[in-house]
């Protein structure tokens, strides 16, 4: 080494690099001006020889006409050379090793950071909503050189390196530069490409060195392997513009919404030799089935990368990576695209409440509790054995908020269903006294989590109007779906866990004992309009020894199927959006688990196919009758006729829309005996049965009401007119109101006048008797016309009808 070059060496800093303890290697490595020359330094552990190969050899300066040999400054592999030029073309290192290997490397230390000061300020304040485009691994081209830009937030690490397929997993090779203003380490690595596996190697001040997967990585290896995988999310060609454009009208407000919840790994059989079907194989099968059944949406249990199959995705490691179980990120984009083209919305389950302790994940990330709380009373979840996010740290809340936006904006999700919201809202959730720390006011509300939720729902609505935010929340916490400007949390929908728990508790009783539990059947309507609800029979109710829905039903096999048909009809006619877990629309008796497929063969069994047919018809009825959804979140859309006949175990009620002609009458028999149920009706007219769960079409015994029912002038349920409906045990009849035509109304009036006219007698009628008869006839006609809500004129609104 020449004396001049020797004097240019910063030996203390070189030692930092050699011992892999440097957080700013760019200060030495790469090209640096030295007067009219350029000093280039490089570190290639165990290399015996390094030459610089200039792009376009033989052109321009004589210094670039041939390879430039570097001098070995340190035997551990530190090389340097002084090039007699200020401006350099692109170049690569040609590195030779003692074992005869010769490897070409680009110089990662000649590039400026791709993270701007503006990015840093936004991230530090927790408002960088596209931080996923900066942090993580991003293939790109800089100054004509292809490679991948890596960035990681880990402010307390002494040194971080990128290790992977492109550098023999050697943490000494690609040490990263720390941006001290934000604690982000970054590095552009030429030649690192899509499909390469990688991790980050972190070294602490204590000397402890370990590997972590990329929190912002866009792909990962299939478990049990745990490396992140470089992926490019920008190349997919979306064709769902039409669906996205119409999405707000399709699913917001009181639009009908019937959701098929599914675990992707259980829906379709994989190809021979494969563990799971690919998204591209799953998509057409899901589309065919969902369209056949009439569901409006599918809800996917978490598709984010997770290590444990038995967690079903609810213990996430790779929040920004679709799980490798079903293919690549592009494969998942294909799935989303195809469902949208078929007119099907997609809801993604999302888990911001907690994360697992796996050592390659977020736990104790940079040697400190970076993502979680240090105090286990705040940072540990005793029931699940997982860790709780520190929502008050801006970079952590930014990680989660940007993640929800990521799935909507990068993968076109139509709704985010937030898991375990209750555990986020309460500091003492699942904890005993002494196991939690009160908030600044002495209460048990997690103020930081509440603020994060409000922040997310606010920015989601601003950036992605029409995308739904759905809460799985099981307590009476107020205003979950309340407006943000009125103090609410800003969710669009809340899972109605109360309805589910009360109903399943009621229906599991033998009909003989149900009269003592009638309040559980009707209680949901007391609070039905306190939030905007989604009724759910989800995966949680058919696992871990709870039995499937049909397995919960009492009685003989025939009675179990009748109870199930009754259950689905009651849910579909009850106010609220609808959700049903896969396999339950087949009437599966076996509990679901992640290791089995849906039992499609049950469709060959008439009773089970009857359940399928019923769900098809209920979905069709739900979507085509405005009374089932138009006033879904307003009391005007529902009316009890009889909800007090607990001893007889039946209910009668109305579903209504703005048009009285859309009115539906529902009569439900929860008893174990056949009944003729007389029920008051709201209007003069006819009532035609449009669905009966005991129809032979659905596997029932065929006790139906084939003939149209005419309202009779008989008071019942505090109403002037009524009809009588015949019902099999454990069945529901849905009847549609049909107004009389003018001609029919005239005949009804005439018939009632005749009925009210005394039979003629031989003796003459006195003047007084004649006057009374005329008055009674006139009153009958007036009453009949008044109570007939349709007389051939304009349609009346529900408000006018009331």
Provide DSSP, 472-528: ---S--TTTTS-GGGT----SEEE-HHHHHHHHHHHTS-GGGGGGGHHHHHGGGGST
Residue 594: DSSP 8-state = T
Which segments within 533-674 are labelled E, that is strand? 533-537, 577-581, 638-642, 650-655, 664-669
Q: Helix/strand/coil (H, E, C) string of 1-28?
A: CCHHHHHHCCHHHHHHHHCCCCCCHHHC
- Spell out the alpha helix ranges (H) of 315-446: 329-341, 376-379, 394-409, 421-425
Task: Supply 108's token pair.
Answer: 């990662």
Rounded-to-integer distance, Cα 32 and Cα 26, Å: 9
Active-site residue flag, 617: no
Active-site residue flag, 419: yes
CB-based contact 524:499 (threshold 8 Å): yes
601: number of Cβ within 10 Å: 10
CB-based contact 259:580 (threshold 8 Å): yes
CB-based contact 129:401 (threshold 8 Å): yes
Nearest one of 588, 497, 603 to 547, comparing CA atoms:
588
393: buried, middle or exposed (CB in 10 Å: 19+, 13-18, 0-12)? middle
719: number of Cβ within 10 Å: 17
Which candidate in 107, 196, 472, 694 is catalytic? 472
Would you say how long the chain is, in residues? Answer: 802
Rounded-to-integer distance, Cα 449 and Cα 421, Å: 9
Query: C-alpha distances in angstroms, 671 versus 517, 555, 562, 644, 647?
Result: 12, 12, 11, 14, 9
Rounded-to-integer distance, Cα 296 and Cα 628, Å: 15
Rounded-to-integer distance, Cα 560 and Cα 522, Å: 21
Provide DSSP, 552-586: H--SSHHHHHHHHHHHHHHHHHSSSEEEEETTTTT
Which candidate in 16, 281, 372, 419 is catalytic? 419
Rounded-to-integer distance, Cα 677 and Cα 716, Å: 11
Residues 6+ apart with CB under 8 A from 654: 627, 638, 639, 641, 663, 664, 665, 666, 682
Helices (H) and strands (E) in the chain, counts: 19, 36
Angle between helices 279-293 and 329-341 (to 10 degrees): 20
Residues 6+ apart with CB under 8 A from 426: 444, 445, 446, 475
Q: What are phi and psi of 329, to 5 degrees?
A: -55, -40
Nearest one of 122, 142, 144 to 132, comparing CA atoms:
122
| DSSP bridge partners of 177 | 186
Nearest one of 63, 56, 53, 69 to 86, comparing CA atoms:
63
Q: Half-sphere exposure (CA, 13 Å, Cβ side) for 507?
A: 27
CB-based contact 794:800 (threshold 8 Å): no
Nearest one of 362, 350, 500, 345 to 421, comparing CA atoms:
350
Active-site residues: which are they?
419, 472
């Amino acid at each position: 080494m020449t004396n001049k070059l020797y004097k240019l060496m910063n030996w203390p800093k070189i030692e930092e690099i050699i011992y892999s303890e440097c957080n700013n290697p760019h200060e030495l490595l790469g090209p640096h001006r030295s007067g009219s020359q350029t000093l280039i330094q490089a570190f290639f552990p165990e290399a015996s020889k390094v030459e610089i190969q200039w792009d376009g050899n033989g052109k321009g300066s004589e210094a670039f006409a041939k390879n430039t040999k570097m001098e070995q400054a340190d035997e551990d592999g530190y090389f340097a050379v002084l090039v007699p030029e200020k401006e350099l073309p692109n170049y690569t290192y040609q590195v030779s090793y003692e074992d005869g290997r010769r490897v070409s490397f680009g110089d990662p230390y000649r590039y400026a950071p791709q993270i701007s000061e503006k990015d840093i300020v936004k991230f530090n304040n927790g408002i960088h909503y596209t931080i996923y485009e900066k942090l993580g691994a991003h293939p790109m081209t800089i100054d004509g050189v292809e490679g991948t830009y890596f960035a990681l937030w880990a402010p307390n690490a002494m040194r971080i390196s990128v290790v992977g397929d492109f550098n023999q997993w050697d943490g000494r090779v690609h040490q990263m530069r720390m941006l001290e203003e934000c604690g982000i380490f970054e590095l552009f690595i030429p030649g690192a490409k899509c499909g390469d596996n990688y991790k980050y190697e972190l070294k602490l001040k204590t000397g402890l060195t370990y590997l972590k997967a990329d929190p912002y990585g866009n792909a990962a290896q299939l478990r049990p392997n745990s490396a992140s995988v470089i992926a490019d999310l920008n190349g997919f060609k979306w064709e769902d513009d039409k669906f996205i454009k119409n999405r707000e009208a399709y699913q917001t407000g009181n639009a009908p919404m019937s959701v098929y919840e599914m675990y992707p790994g259980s829906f379709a059989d994989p190809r021979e030799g494969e563990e799971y079907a690919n998204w591209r194989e799953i998509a057409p099968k899901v589309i065919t089935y969902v369209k056949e059944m009439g569901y409006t949406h599918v809800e996917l249990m978490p598709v984010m990368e997770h290590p444990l199959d038995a967690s079903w995705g609810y213990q996430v490691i790779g929040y920004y990576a679709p799980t490798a179980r079903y293919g690549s990120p592009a494969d998942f984009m294909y799935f989303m695209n195809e469902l949208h083209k078929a007119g099907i919305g997609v809801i993604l389950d999302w888990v911001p409440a907690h994360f697992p302790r796996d050592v390659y994940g977020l736990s104790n990330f940079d040697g400190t509790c970076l993502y979680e709380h240090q105090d286990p009373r705040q940072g540990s979840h005793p029931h699940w054995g997982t860790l709780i996010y520190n929502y008050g740290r801006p970079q952590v809340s930014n990680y989660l908020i940007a993640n929800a936006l990521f799935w909507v904006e990068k993968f076109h999700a139509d709704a985010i269903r937030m898991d375990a919201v209750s555990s986020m809202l309460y500091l003492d959730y699942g904890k005993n006294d002494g196991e939690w720390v009160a908030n600044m006011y002495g209460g048990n509300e997690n103020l930081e989590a509440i603020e994060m939720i409000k922040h997310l729902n606010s920015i989601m609505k601003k950036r992605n109007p029409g995308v739904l935010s759905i809460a799985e929340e099981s307590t009476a916490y107020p205003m979950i779906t309340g407006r943000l400007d009125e103090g609410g949390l800003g969710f669009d929908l809340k899972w109605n866990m109360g309805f589910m728990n009360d109903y399943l508790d009621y229906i599991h009783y033998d009909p003989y004992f149900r009269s003592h539990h009638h309040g559980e059947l009707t209680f949901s309507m007391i609070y039905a309009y306190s939030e905007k609800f989604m009724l759910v029979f989800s995966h949680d109710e058919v696992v871990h020894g709870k039995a499937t829905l049909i397995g919960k039903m009492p009685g003989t096999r025939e009675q179990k199927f009748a109870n199930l048909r009754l259950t689905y009809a009651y849910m579909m006619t009850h106010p609220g959006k609808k959700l049903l877990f896969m396999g339950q629309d087949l009437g599966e008796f076996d509990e679901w688990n992640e290791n089995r497929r849906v039992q499609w063969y049950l469709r060959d069994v008439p009773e089970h196919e009857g359940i399928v047919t019923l769900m098809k018809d209920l979905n069709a009825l739900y979507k085509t009758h405005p009374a089932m959804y138009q006033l879904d979140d307003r009391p005007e859309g529902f009316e009890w006729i009889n909800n007090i006949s607990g001893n007889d175990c039946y209910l009668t009620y109305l579903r209504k829309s703005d048009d009285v002609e859309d009115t539906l009458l529902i009569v439900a028999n929860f008893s174990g005996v056949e009944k003729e149920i007389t029920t008051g009706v709201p209007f003069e007219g006819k009532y035609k049965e449009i669905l009966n769960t005991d129809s032979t079409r659905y596997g029932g015994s065929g006790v139906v009401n084939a003939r149209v029912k005419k309202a009779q002038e008989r008071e019942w349920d505090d109403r002037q007119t009524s009809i009588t409906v015949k019902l099999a045990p454990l069945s529901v009849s849905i009847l549609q109101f049909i107004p009389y035509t003018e001609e029919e109304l005239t005949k009804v009036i005439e018939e009632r006048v005749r009925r009210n006219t005394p039979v003629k007698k031989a003796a003459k009628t006195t003047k007084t008797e004649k006057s009374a008869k005329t008055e009674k006839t006139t009153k009958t006609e007036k009453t009949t016309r008044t109570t007939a809500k349709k007389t051939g004129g304009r349609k009346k609104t529900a408000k006018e009808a009331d």
